[in-house]
Structure formats: structure tokens, C-alpha cells
Structure 1
Amino acid sequence: MIGIGPFPIHVFTTIAAVLLAWMTARMVARRLPDVSYKAAGSMILDAVVWGLLAARLAYIAQWWEEYSATPMSMIAIGDRGFTWWAGVLVVVVYIWRRTRLTQALRGPVLAGVMAGVVAWVVAGGVLDLMQGSAPPLPDLQLVTLDQSPISLSEYAGRPVVLNLWASWCPPCRREMPVFEQAQTEFSDAAFVMINQGESAEQAQAFLESENLTLTDVLLDPSSSTMQAMRSRGLPTTLFFDAQGRLVDSHLGEITMPSLKDKMSRRFDLPSESSTDK
């Protein structure tokens, strides 16, 4: 998994793109007569705020049924649920309207936006290439809750979602119902819940206390999966295709809309609830 400290690299690429847009707008404005470089930079930051809000609201609208079932998940922006094209569109419209009376400012600000968007797209492409060199589905020997040995390679041949969790981890506990629902809605994929560093008794006690029914719960007392996948914290969710290639990852609590979004984009697996409609 690619990141800096406990944060996903996508956070830093977005921040870097915004900074580049801000600096570009100011530099271009400095070269023009009667154009305030401070106003150009300020407008970029204002536009970014409106753009992020629009991108989030558009994503919520896209997955309204899932978000409405758990309204508090709407503010869980850590699920990285943003419709970026909608955000960029709102940024451009906002800048166009704000510069109706100061059209000399429009060029520098739009130049900043273009620089930021291009940098963000290029960074995303590089990250996708780096994702291709990530570790494959590890062939680790783990055990089930009843202490039966099992190898992760037994799940190969179909999409696999690995979730690394522990009962002491609050975000892990909160997202468990998401995977309980997902294993029913996406029956063509394997949802493998790998407990990190705890005993069978601890894991089983948690599952029973929360009335959770999860079909594939494995134990990893030595946290070897975290080491093999270079995970930086819990919970971590890893998405492998049928060939065992890592195609996506999520550090932190994942919501149902975000999980469904990744499943549909990475595996082209519509949920059974949507196909029944």
C-alpha cells in the first residue's frame, strides 16, 4: 500500500495539486498589469472549497440509497467518496461567475485550475502504475476460528476482499456490518476477514457480542498479513482480482457506498440488491 505515515498517498497528491494551482494562479497574475496575485490565490482556495463540497454531494446523490440507510456516513469523508468531475465543473463555473466584473483575473485563476487538474490526473496515473507492482495475494498459512489450517491461496480464482481488523479497533468494529451485508450482495466475491494479533476466543467473543455472521473469518496471531501487505494500520481493506493482483486498497473505516463503488469499478460486480430491482 502506498502512503506517507498513516495517510493514503491520495491525500497528499490532492493537497499538492491544490498548492500547484494556487502557486500557478499567483505567478501568472504577477505577470499581468492591474491583476492582484493575492486575489487570484484567494479565489483558487475558495473555488477548491466549493468544488470539494460539490464533489461530495454528487457522490452522496449517486449512492443515496446506501447513505440514507446510515446518514452519519455522509460526513465520513475518509471513505474517499467524491465525484471529481462534478467538483471540477463547479470550480470552473464558480470562477467564471466570480470574474464577470474582473475578467483580467479569469485567465490566471483558470490557468491555476488547469495546472492543478493536470498534475492530479498525472499523479493518479503514476499511482495506478505503482499499484500494479504491489504484492499479490499472499500465500499465507492462517487458521479458522475452529483452529483449522487454511491457506489464502485457496481463495484464488475469484475477486477477493481482505479486511485486516482487530476487536480493540473502533473503526474496525463500526465497519463490520458493511462486510456482513456485502458478502450477501456480492456472492461472486470472497470477503475474508483476517483478525490481526488476537486469539480465537477474543475474535469469537466480539462477533457474538455484535451478532455478526461472517462466513470467512481467519486468525493471524502474528499479524503476518499486515507485514506481507505493508499495511500501516487498522482497519485495512485490500481488493484483489481473480488473478490475485492488488487492484485497490483502503486504509481506515470503509462505508457501504465506498465499498460498492470499488466493487463495481474494480470487479464490475453489480450488487444483487440492485439487480433485483
Structure 2
Amino acid sequence: MSCTQVIESRILEKNMKLNNYFVLLIVMLSVISITLSPVFISPKSLDIPQVHKTVDENFYNNIEVEISQNFIQTDSLDGSQIVLGESKFPTVLIVLAHWCPHCRNEVREIATFFSDYSDEQGEIIIDDVRFMSLVTSIKNDRSNFPPHEWLINENWVLPTLVDNQNSDISSALRVRSFPSYIIFDRYGYIIGMIPGRIEKQGIKNLIQQINNTVGKENL
């Protein structure tokens, strides 16, 4: 065999070895790719739990309240945080006590009035007036406790603030009777208060009065 043939034979042998290496490398990469391929988890398992408190009888013992001149933050009746403050609209806050017979009668009378006005965010806005409610003076040894069960049974749809055991919110708002209607301007400041029941017609009149006088110091 000539030198040239020997060289060509060795080159061919090296090429065959290289080809074998490439084949082996491709096989190894394929195995690695299969091993490391992403595992797709169903969206259900990636759901992030809502940060809500559990609303039960013990819920009312741990209400966290923050109050300033035109800002109130507390727990909502659904266990989430809720704020009463600046808004695009003036706000009417209906103050209720679960044990108060006048409140029970008022809620039963006006609940259906609000049921058609809930928007996508759960707010109740009627003719540019926002409505919310506050449950206060909460007593576990009095009738209709716990309040959330009472209001659910009445199909109450208003976003509802929950006062703490000391009734700090109603004290800050100087509530003296139940129910009461407190009117706030767009900046979260009180511009009026109506003690006692007003029923559906009274709410309609109040909406009109607010729209006629909003921005003034008093109604």
C-alpha cells in the first residue's frame, strides 16, 4: 500500500470516528432535551388564593380600622379590605346595627332598590351618587348576629364596611342613631347626615338633593 493510500485510509477512519461522535452527541442531546422539557401545569394549579379573611363569628373580633379626616379603611363584609375616601362621586353611607329593629325594617324595604345597580366592580352608583353601608355596634349576644348572615338573607348588595369592637368608625362619624345616612362629598368629607329611616322614596329624594347641591358645605 502506498503512503498516499495509508494517509487516505487514516483520514477515512478519523472521519468515521467523528461521525460516530456526532451521532452519539445528537442522541445525548435528544435525551437531555426530553429530560429537561418543560412540564406544563394546568392553570388551575397556579391559581393564587385571594387574600380575604374568613368571615365567621370570630371575624368580628379582629377588625382592623384606619381613620383619618377624610379616609376610612377597614374590613369589608366579604373579608377583603375596603376604603371610604375620595371618589369620582359623592357617597351615601348607610349606617346599620344588626340588632336594631328599625335597621332591619329599613334594609328589608330598600334592599331591592339597590339590587339592579351593581356595576362590574361591585359598586352601587345611582345617578352619579355612590352608596355604601357600615355595620357597627356589633354585639354577639344580640339579635341578628352575625351581621353578614342577616344581610345575605336580605339580599343586601351594597359594599359594606365593618366597624371594630369599639365602634371607632361610628364614633368618629358621630353617629347617634340607627339607621343613619351620612353624605360625603367627592373628597371624602362629610357634608350632611340624616338620622332614622327614609325608605325608598327618601333615597330617591336624597339622590336628587345631592345632585342639586353637591359641592356646597351643607345640604
Name the TM-score class by shorter chain.
0.5 to 0.7
- In the TM superposition, residue 179 of structure 1 has moved relative to its aligned partner by 5.1
The alignment of Structure 1 onto Structure 2 pairs a total of residues equal to 132
Q: Secondary structure at the match of 1:267?
A: helix
- Aligned to 2:113, the other structure's residue is in SS state helix
Q: Which of 112, 125, 130 is residue 190 of structure 1 equivalent to?
A: 130
Amino acid at match of 1:195: V
Greater percentage in helix: 1
Give the counterpart letter for 1:266 in structure 2.
Answer: I
Shift of 1:181: 1.0
Partner residue of 2:79 out of 147, 163, 183: 147
Residues in 2 aligned to 1:199 and 1:217: alpha-carbon distance in whole angstroms: 17
The answer to whether structure 1 residue 220 and structure 2 residue 147 are counterparts is no
CA–CA distance in structure 2, aligned partners of residues 146 and 256 of structure 1: 25
The one-letter code matched in structure 2 to 1:198 is I
Runs of 4+ in 1 over 4 A off after TM superposition: none
1:181 paired with 2:113, answer yes
Q: In the alignment, is the contact (CA less than 8 A) between 1:196 and 1:220 conserved in 2?
A: yes
Q: TM-score, normalised by structure 1?
A: 0.42
CA distance in 2, matches of 1:187, 1:225: 27
Equivalent positions of 1:1-277 (< 5 A) are 138-153=70-85, 156-176=87-107, 177-178=109-110, 180-182=112-114, 184=117, 186=126, 188-198=128-138, 202-210=146-154, 212-221=155-164, 222-268=166-212
Normalising by structure 2, we get a TM-score of 0.52
Alpha-carbon offset, residue 180 of structure 1: 4.5
Q: Flag structure 2 segments of 5+ consecutive residues without an equivalent.
A: 1-67, 118-124, 214-219
- Asked which structure has the greater CA Rg, the reply is 2
Output the aligned Cα RMSD: 2.8
1:22-68 alpha-carbon deviations (Å, 9 max, x no partner): xxxxxxxxxxxxxxxxxxxxxxxxxxxxxxxxxxxxxxxxxxxxxxx
